Amino acid sequence: MTVHSQGAVTSAPQDAPPKSPGRPEAPAPATGASHTPPRGGRKSLPSGWLPYLLVAPAVLALATLLLYPLIKNVILSLQDINKVEFIQRKYPFAGLDNYTELLGDSAFWTVVVRSFAFTLANVALIMVLGSLIGILLNKLGKKMRLALSMALVMAWAMPIVASVQVFRWLFDEQFGVMNWVMRTAGFSGYDQHNWMETGLSTMVIVTILVVWGSIPFVALNMYAGLTTVGAELYEAARMDGANGWQTFWKIVFPNLKPFFLITTFLEVIWVFKAFTQVYAMNKGGPDRGSEILPVFAYVEGQSQAHYGLAAAISVLTIVILVIVMSFYFRLILKQEEEQ
Amino acid sequence: MSTSTTTAPKPAAPHRPAQQLRTRRPVRPAAVAKNLGALLLALVFVFPVYWMFSSALKPADQMLTKDPVFVFTPTLDNFGKATGVENFWTYVTNSVLVTVGAVALALLVALAASFAIARMRFKGRKGLVLTVMMAQMAPWEVMVIAMYMIARDGELLNSLPLLTAIYFVMILPFTIWTLRGFIAAVPVTLEEAAQIDGCTRGQAFRKVIFPLLAPGLMSTSLFGFITAWNEFAMVLILNKDKTAQTLPLWLTEFMSAFGNDWGATMAASSLFAVPVLLIFIFLQRKAVGGMTAGAVKG
């Protein structure tokens, strides 16, 4: 999925420079891990002010546009800001009022449950189907594999805002292809079926969109991972009479366990904050019935003018994300140490 | 933090012989099912993309039909309608300005920072690496309210420079992280040799490291480009003024502005998606390799 897609690489320490065919003098990246630069070695390091000067702009930028908004978010969540205060630009301190209001509000809990269910359903579908397609890719012949990978890359590359429009068109009430497909398949009641009639049905469409867009990342990486598992292992398993299921759990899964864990956490993080897909699809509607936490915060802030409350929702959402991320970072750091 | 140099796994090199054996066997039902399944899957994944382009090229009278028309004479009418919207060129200019500005800034700032991280030792280096790593996962979509209040109180709503700055910080951590890897992979000895030959440190960087980094800079900036190009949540909340909006907003507000003109909407979607699709096809091998380099037990 596409905003995803950058995240794809984001997550991984990318240490290999791409090959530069036209540049024979370039050091071959494949020569192995031998040239780890000698840290602290010899004359390459005039420590002193230079490194600080070099990192200063980056640190400054992160501090003003990432750290400060995060802090501001917490401050806002402790203030009482509704329409009047917003216009007057006076934000009285409200203590934990926003949080107590939120935690006592059943609408909030509905959104929390919906967000978790949405995340769970999406990630489960993405991981299971993505892995299966990855395994299939590994078993295909060359031409078929190329065809399927190209199709996957297309879905992966589609910008989310564009694919949302396409899905709205596919599932259009009057002239959408999906109604035609259902009619052709022999189902009745799909003459002018409104696919986004309820919050739940809208969530289903969003799920199809998210899963469609996220599978390629998992499948292609799964395939790339499988090719590193060494054919002799499969061969040995087959000699020992293992079936496909056993081969997966005894050979593939243990070898690719870090991949599965890291990908699962990444998907959880991505799906949990899938603002664009949900909002662009139906603005969280109908009747606010498809809002997940980030959309809930946006609507509370922008349409309802409850800025303090919206900030509190954001803080709680970020806390949940940070908990998930802490697991993710522990995995990544372990990975780095092992290498 | 170790900087092992792992290259993308060469797909299937080890088990090519096994594959050839397999394909030479007589056709089995299992193999047919496998290929049929793959074909079906390929169709499912490509269909929305195909449908976008096909609807964009479809004449208006064959668009709104109960049963979809699959064969038709393509027309460019829809593209004319999509680009004929008021302010269209403003959106394009804004998108390009913001995206290119953010990527250029990110490259410049990241190049300096990643050089320090990869090649120098200083206090707080490890903390900085961790910060960069975490900043990559910053939940920007969840921070829109705070950003809105900051912008409002600073009289910076509808400001393209602020949007550029935000996108710059969005792609900065990833850019630092990637460039750090690329720089670390250039042997220090090359740099030292240049210095022995009389280069200053700055010259060594410009004449030795920089040219070797060019491909890395290229792919890194393209990923940054995609992120900024596709960004939706921030521009949605910050820039309500049409003249300060970018293409993603043009696209999502198209339907309400245009009634039920799906043809024009699909033409707009196609125009927006094509640059990204092209870049992606160019980059995909790196994306896959990059992930597995870190995530698979070697």
A79 phi and psi angles, rounded to 5 deg: -115, 155
Spatial separation of the C-alpha atoms in residues A142 and B22, rounded to whole Å: 12
Taking residues A178-196, report their average pLDDT. Answer: 89
| Of A30-44, A134-148, B16-30, the least confident | A30-44
Pick the residue from chain B with its C-alpha nearest to A326.
B134
Spatial separation of the C-alpha atoms in residues A136 and A132, rounded to whole Å: 6
pLDDT < 50: residue spans in chain B: 1-19, 289-298
Pick the residue from chain B with its C-alpha nearest to A172.
B262
Domain boundaries, chain A: 106-338
Tokens representing residue B26 in the block:
């007589």
Taking residues A92-117, report their average pLDDT. Answer: 94
Pick the CATH number of A106-338 from 3.40.50.2020, 1.10.3720.10, 3.30.365.10, 1.10.238.10: 1.10.3720.10
ipTM of this model?
0.83
CB A2 within 8 A of CB A213: yes
Nearest to A209 by CA among A121, A133, A286, A294: A121
Residue A131 has pLDDT above 80, yes or no: yes
Spatial separation of the C-alpha atoms in residues A196 and A168, rounded to whole Å: 9
CB A275 within 8 A of CB B141: yes
Rounded to a whole number of angstroms, the distance from the CA of B185 to the nearest CA of chain A is 7
Contact A273 B142 (CB under 8 A): yes
pTM of the model: 0.84
Residue A188: count of CB within 10 angstroms of its CB? 7
Residue A48: count of CB within 10 angstroms of its CB? 10
| Of A5-19, A185-199, A236-250, the least confident | A5-19
User: Phi-psi category of A49—alpha, beta or left, where left has phi over 0 and alpha has psi -120 to 50?
Assistant: alpha
The pLDDT value recorded for residue A9 is: 36
Contact A161 B248 (CB under 8 A): yes
The pLDDT value recorded for residue A147 is: 93
Contact A58 B178 (CB under 8 A): no
pLDDT band per the 50, 70, 90 thresholds, residue A333? confident
Nearest to A226 by CA among A303, A109, A145: A145
The pLDDT value recorded for residue A13 is: 36
Residue A15 has pLDDT above 80, yes or no: no
Residue A37 has pLDDT above 60, yes or no: no
CB A31 within 8 A of CB B106: no
A286 upstream amide cis, omega within 30 of 0:
yes
* A73 has a chain B CB within 8 A of its CB: yes
The pLDDT value recorded for residue A14 is: 36
Tokens representing residue A284 in the block:
């969280």
Q: Could you read off the pLDDT of A57-70 as tens digits, one per residue? A: 999 999 999 999 99
The pLDDT value recorded for residue A277 is: 96
The pLDDT value recorded for residue B208 is: 83
The type of residue at B286 is: K
Query: What is the Cα B6 distance to its own chain's centre?
Result: 23
Residue A116 has pLDDT above 90, yes or no: yes
Select from A25, A55, A140, A324 the residue whose CB has the most chain B CBs within 10 Å, as the one to mutate to test that interface.
A55
Q: Which of B7, B44, B290 sits opposite A12 (nearest CB)?
A: B290
pLDDT band per the 50, 70, 90 thresholds, residue A29? very low
What CATH architecture does domain B87-252 belong to?
Answer: Orthogonal Bundle (1.10)
Rounded to a whole number of angstroms, the distance from the CA of A280 to the nearest CA of chain B is 6
* A37 has a chain B CB within 8 A of its CB: yes
Q: Count contacts between A and B (CB, < 8 Å).
A: 451
Select from A4, A6, A325 the residue whose CB has the most chain B CBs within 10 Å, as the one to mutate to test that interface.
A6
Q: Which has more confidence, B25 or A286?
A: A286
Spatial separation of the C-alpha atoms in residues B97 and B144, rounded to whole Å: 21
Q: Which has more confidence, A43 or A333?
A: A333
What is the average pLDDT value for chain A, to the nearest integer? 84
The type of residue at A20 is: S
Percent of chain A with pLDDT over 70: 86
Spatial separation of the C-alpha atoms in residues A91 and A78, rounded to whole Å: 9
